Amino acid sequence: MAPKKDKKGNAGGMFKSVGWQHLCMFLQACSIIAGSYLLAGCVSDPNTYVLDLSYSNDTSPFILNPLEKQVSTLLNEQIGSSELQVRTSYFHMCVRNHRADWKCSRNDDYLAEQFGLDQDPLDLVGAVSEFRDEVLTPWVLVVGIALEFLSIVLFATFPGWKKVRDHETGEVRSFKPSPKKFVVNLAWMFSFLAFVLTMVNAVWQLTSYDGARAMIRIAFEGNVRPSQSSMGQKLPYYNCFFAGQAAMWFTYYVVCIFWPNELAKCSDHASKPESERSLVAEAAREHELQVQNPKESTEYVRVHEQETSPPNYGRV
């Protein structure tokens, strides 16, 4: 009996070949893109930053203490007409004065020399540099991105759909082999650890900015304005969201599909008689041998002997 053709054509086969591992790979790729763009802030885009400090040039109207108001007035006189603006991300800093072009570098000493004390009387460059070096840590996010990349590599090794022909009916059937248990457990561990690290990074960045904003307002008495970009606020949550979705779907597959199938295989294998189990093991070994080295398989040797053996015409 001839196999039935797919009425949906090639599109149906294409969508059928897309599995749950491709969804996890897509989600982790989106997480990697968000995390990489966040790490590249102030390098490729000065508008993506974690902390921005600029002179406000006015005393805070909320200061009611006379001593604090006097300190705020002295700081305001020290600032003068300076309009310096400093931004930082995880690796680089960007500085500009009076809406000029941004100057970005990883070396804070170079930026401080470019502007000097006359344009930066309160040393905002040094304050932002201390925040970047002492408070922020990019390595949590870097390790999370590396684990997501390793998870994608492991997902790419999972077997896809294969077609076999039934020798009795001649019908072509599709089946999907299960991935190896070690690879599944390793990819699951990498995905879960990546989600935990991205969540820790998001919480770390949020609390670091809130603490720095409060301290800056208290220390400079309203003469320095702290802020954070919208992309700098959203990207950590995007990174954590996509990593969490990938880990959740992968956990659902492992707990609800992979482990029950493995347990069912073990129970079926234990219930079969010894002769049938030996035949199944021999078929599995033969299949693995054909995949690794087809020339050493039993089927290849049998066919090769038939082709190379001389014909036997018998005696005349």
User: For 264-296, what is each residue's pLDDT tens digit?
Assistant: 655 554 555 554 445 445 555 555 555 455 554
Give backbone dihedrals phi and psi of 178, rounded to 5 degrees, phi first.
-80, 145
Give the global pTM.
0.73
Q: What is the pLDDT of residue 288?
A: 55
Residues with Cβ within 8 Å of residue 130, at least 6 apart in sequence: none
Q: What is the pLDDT of residue 67?
A: 79
Q: What is the pLDDT of residue 299?
A: 47
CATH topology assigned to domain 16-270 = Butyryl-CoA Dehydrogenase, subunit A; domain 3 (1.20.140)
C-alpha dist (Å) from residue 214 to 56, 63, 192, 219 = 16, 14, 34, 9
Q: What is the pLDDT of residue 181?
A: 81
Q: Which two tokens stand for residue 271?
A: 């219930």
Q: What is the pLDDT of residue 276?
A: 45
Residue the block writes with tokens 């502007």 = 115
Question: Where in the chain are the domains?
Answer: 16-270, 272-307
- Below-50 pLDDT ranges, the chain: 1-12, 15, 269, 275-277, 279-280, 291, 296-305, 307, 313-316
Q: What is the pLDDT of residue 156?
A: 86
Q: Are 249 and 24 in contact (CB under 8 A)?
A: yes
